[in-house]
Amino acid sequence: MSTTLNNADGKSWPADLDLAARTFWERPFAEREKSFAKLRAEHPVSYHRAYESSLLPPDEDSPGFWAITKFEDCRRVSRDVESFVSGQGVLMEDVPEVVTLATTSFLAMDGPEHRQVRGIVSQAFTPRKVKQIEGWINSEAKGLVDDIIGLGEGDIVDLYAKMLPGRIFAFFFGVDAGSEEMHTIMEAAERMLAWDDPNCALGRDALTTFAEEADRIQEVAMARADHFREHPAENLVSWVVNAKFEDRVLEDWEIAAFFSLLGSAANDTTRHSIGHAFRLFHEHPDQLELLKEDMEGRLDGAVEEILRYVSPVQHFRRTAVKDAVVGGQEIKAGDKLVMWYCSGNYDEDVFEDPTTFDILRSPNKHLGFGAGGPHFCIGSALGRQMIKATLREVYTRMPDLHLTAEPELQVNNFINGIHAAQAAWTPSK
């Protein structure tokens, strides 16, 4: 297998396979997928120079990364925690260590430390807990549709897709739905994870965007934390600040880091999944008809196919701590490996006809929530539930919802984001 094509050997990747180029990520998702398909077929594990990062611009000594493009190889890397760790960074591009520490919480931890912090919060997000709040999510979805159904048109991302996770997470943060703090968290979460996108950077450099927006989330969370230390209540901030796990409480900086992780991981991913769902059903009216024909029977399948097809989180990174072999390729201790979930989700060895959006696809064991192992998404049940409630409510009451302009997509190698989507529907009461 050829995996030697890389800049380190003096051979450059052609532009369409150069994952390290910022311009690669300015191309549409479908174009990028053609490149990933080529990599999967010809160079499933391939070495690339360091990303042209504006977060921490690389110098000539900056190491590159292995691109893992096949479904099974992603699963192998994600599950083999003896060989591959998260604690040395989880993004394809380097971020100053202090910023990682302040913003990623247990996402970038390993072993017992990871188990401990994840353990404090995971009980809030079990499928059973989400089942209990299912009715509440459904009624929030209904309330949002009540608010917008009479308008007949507008940016459906702004009016709906970002509002549902925003309102649900307002509760987790212990802030009022619709309050200024809720809007701050929603806005900051989008901008923080879209550091490369001019709509989100607003003239700032990437690192400043990332750090300032994380700060805004943390300010809200810490103000609430101070409040709930004095007045414990039934919400996640209160729970986290007062929780003891193996006789340990979280320190302030850990609480702040946890809430920037949660504010972004939970809000932004779900919001973009919902935004893309509206785009996909606009582009595939036959699939919308299928859904409407048997809404309850087909909702779950539709949610899974949206997550596979969109791959809202396009990658996560690990670092090898021992020599290993992945997909036949030797990996050295210290090497970075980037698992391309957006590629594994289109792996022809696992998904028949992968570029077809098919809500009846079965089985559909995608990598939308990660590739297994200890970092598998803690909020998968909640995320699924929010998308499901949306599809049911929106396409029952606004069945002719359609886009009226090309959606504005984010330029981003991490999140597959949709910034805005003008839409219209028949107004009613």
Task: Kindly report the backbone phi and psi dihedral angles of residue 164, in degrees, each rounded to the nearest multiple of 5, phi listed first.
Answer: -65, -55
- The DSSP result for 308-322, as a single string, is HHH-SB-EEEEEESS
Distance (Å, rounded) from C-alpha 290 to C-alpha 302? 10
Distance (Å, rounded) from C-alpha 208 to C-alpha 300? 39
Q: Which of 383, 398, 412, 420 binds ligand HEM (CB under 6 A)?
A: 383
Determine, following the binding rule CB under 6 A, whether residue 217 of this chain makes contact with ligand HEM.
no
Three-state helix/strand/coil letters over 148-183: HCCCCEEEHHHHHHCHHHHHHHHHHHCCCCCCHHHH
Q: Which of 24, 25, 71, 106 binds ligand HEM (CB under 6 A)?
A: 106
Structure tokens at 230: 């004095």
Q: Is 168 exposed, middle or buried (0-12, 13-18, 19+ CB in 10 A)?
A: buried
Shortest Å distance, C-beta 339 to ligand HEM: 7
Q: Is 247 exposed, middle or buried (0-12, 13-18, 19+ CB in 10 A)?
A: exposed
Name the one range near ligand HEM by CB under 6 A: 136-144, 186-194, 267-275, 325-333: 267-275
Shortest Å distance, C-beta 204 to ligand HEM: 26
Tell me the longest C-alpha to C-alpha distance in the chain.
64
Length of the chain: 429
Q: 312-331 mask for ligand HEM (x: CB under 6 A)?
A: xx--x---------------
Q: 19-58 mask for ligand HEM (x: CB under 6 A)?
A: ----------------------------------------
CA-closest candidate to residue 175, choices 121, 127, 233: 233
Helix (H) or strand (E) holding 121: helix 111-122
Determine, following the binding rule CB under 6 A, whether residue 270 of this chain makes contact with ligand HEM.
yes
Nearest residue (beta carbon) to ligand HEM: 379
Q: Which of 17, 55, 95, 107 binds ligand HEM (CB under 6 A)?
A: 107
Q: Are 94 and 63 a contacting pair, CB within 8 Å?
A: no
Q: Which of 88, 273, 287, 345 binds ligand HEM (CB under 6 A)?
A: 273
Shortest Å distance, C-beta 169 to ligand HEM: 8
Q: Which of 46, 103, 218, 269 binds ligand HEM (CB under 6 A)?
A: 269
Determine, following the binding rule CB under 6 A, whether residue 379 of this chain makes contact with ligand HEM.
yes
Number of residues near ligand HEM (by CB under 6 A) = 26
Q: 338-377 mask for ligand HEM (x: CB under 6 A)?
A: ------------------------------xxx----x-x
Q: Summarize as ranges the residues that interact with ligand HEM (CB under 6 A).
A: 78, 86, 90, 106-107, 118, 125, 261-262, 265-266, 269-270, 273, 312-313, 316, 368-370, 375, 377-379, 382-383
